[in-house]
Amino acid sequence: MSKTKEYIHKLPISFKNIRLIRLNLPQKEQFVSGIGVRNSREALIVEWTDANDVKGYGECSCRPDPYYSAEFIDGAIALVNQFIVPFLKAEQSFGDLLKLLDKIRGWNFSKAAVEMAALQVIEKNTGHSPFELLENTPLQKVPVGISLGLYTDLNHIKKVVKNALETGYRRLKFKISPNVQTDFFEDINPLLFKADTYVGFDANGSFGDADFEVFNYFANSYQTMIEQPFAPARFDLLLKAKQENPSVFICYDEEIKSLGDVIKLHHLGVLDEVNLKVGRVGGVMKSIEIIQYCAKHNIPCWIGGMFETGIGRILNLRMASYLPNARAHDLSPSDRYFLEDIIAPNVEMENGFVCMESVKNCQVQLNLLEKYTIEQKTIASTC
């Protein structure tokens, strides 16, 4: 453990209570992916209050169902209630908190939310954070892309693509599945090839052994990133894809839950790119370890999103600012998805970039937090 990391672990954090806040934010429009259909964003917010009533907020960005990962919101609430809060002390170090979280196997989104909330309190009180472990100077402007859902209407997808290109996104990432209408892409190709915008695809693990005809269409026609084409742990299908299409460029998402997963895929020779989601790997400290490994081994890495509210979005942008070589991150502005976000000022984009200075002083708006709360519970310290 380096001296700097040791210092971060020793930072103090007191604990008074945690409030678990379940939100439901209306979306501007329906979003369809290989996982399913969503009309609103249901999220769990962790509010950590210390002995001096300083508050920090973390977002548990798992879904309400176990269809992206095994984790889901009701389970996350139970986990924090039963296996985290009862073991928190009135006074502890950040390292003590990490040991408590590391003892729990899995449930990375839940652990990340608690860690994030605690880190906000620590940074407010001490001015220090784990981001000090990252050596490069953070970007002032972060390039961002847009994730586009599955569409069943050609005119609609053309309209969406034109709007995204005119808005200036640095990357367009299309959701795909074995049932996607490939002829739609033949129609929109003229729009894509004329634009100075990187194009990628994301299958959310929806392709199986019987779906290689559609997979090969995207692999051969575009020579670009295909994100998580197969279900996690279907290494046999990854090998088959690489054998049939040696140049196929696969980005991993659901497959990566830890640094160990990155190292394994790298050593097996199938790791082309990493979509790093802070919540999915267990939080800020775990993300920093992965970023450092990818930098050391020249593995492309960018920050993905889970349609977070502004709370999670700001943290993701901050992490993204330390990745200077990434083409773009899945971190659209607040008004891309929600009728109303719960922070102010909103995350805004200009010409495909988010200015980090503009989000430096974003604050949670308690009136909006309460407006969209559908369930809440406060759990006090017992120590």
* CATH at 241: 3.20.20.120
Residue 189 and residue 269 in one domain: yes
What tens digit of pLDDT does each residue of 168-222 get? Answer: 899 999 999 999 989 988 888 888 776 677 899 999 999 999 999 999 999 988 8
The pLDDT of residue 286 is above 80? yes
What tens digit of pLDDT does each residue of 332-352 get? Answer: 887 778 889 999 988 989 999
Residue 118 and residue 211 in one domain: no
28-38: burial string, b at 16+ Cβ within 10 Å, e else = eeebebbbeeb
| 295 or 336, greater pLDDT | 295
Residue 220 and residue 340 in one domain: yes
Give the dihedral of Cα atoms 84, 2, 303, 345; nearest 10 deg.
70
Cβ neighbourhood burial of 101 (10 Å; 0-12, 13-18, 19+): buried
* Number of domains observed in the structure of the chain: 2
Question: Can you tell me whether residue 203 is helix, strand or coil?
Answer: coil
Residue 127 and residue 138 in one domain: no
Q: Looking at residue 108, what is its pLDDT?
A: 98
Average pLDDT score over residue span 287-316: 95
Q: Looking at residue 296, what is its pLDDT?
A: 96
Q: Per the omega criterion (within 30 degrees of 0), is the bond before 12 cis?
A: no
> Rounded distance, CA 36 to CA 78, Å?
25
Question: Can you tell me whether residue 246 is helix, strand or coil?
Answer: coil
Assign 1 a pLDDT band (cuts: 50, 70, 90): very low
The tokens of 338 are what? 């929600």
Residue 76 and residue 210 in one domain: no
Alpha-carbon distance values, 141 to 59, 97, 344 (Å) = 23, 32, 19
The pLDDT of residue 383 is above 70? no
Residue 190 and residue 327 in one domain: yes
Residue 110 and residue 171 in one domain: no
What tens digit of pLDDT does each residue of 79-93 get? Answer: 999 999 999 999 999
Residue 72 and residue 186 in one domain: no
> Rounded distance, CA 86 to CA 337, Å?
36
Domain that holds residue 51: 3-131+368-380
Q: Looking at residue 2, what is its pLDDT?
A: 52
Residue 115 and residue 176 in one domain: no
Residue 143 and residue 63 in one domain: no
Residue 359 and residue 375 in one domain: no
Residue 13 and residue 94 in one domain: yes
Q: Looking at residue 49, what is its pLDDT?
A: 98
The pLDDT of residue 326 is above 60? yes
Assign 319 a pLDDT band (cuts: 50, 70, 90): very high
Percentage of residues in the chain having pLDDT higher than 90: 72
Task: Read off the CATH number of the domain in which 117 is found.
Answer: 3.30.390.10
* Helices and strands: H and E segment counts in the chain: 12, 17
Report pTM. Answer: 0.93
- Written as one letter, the residue type at 16 is K
| 371 or 196, greater pLDDT | 371
What tens digit of pLDDT does each residue of 139-175 get? Answer: 999 999 998 888 888 999 999 999 888 888 999 999 9
**Pairing of the two strands 343-344 and 363-364:** antiparallel
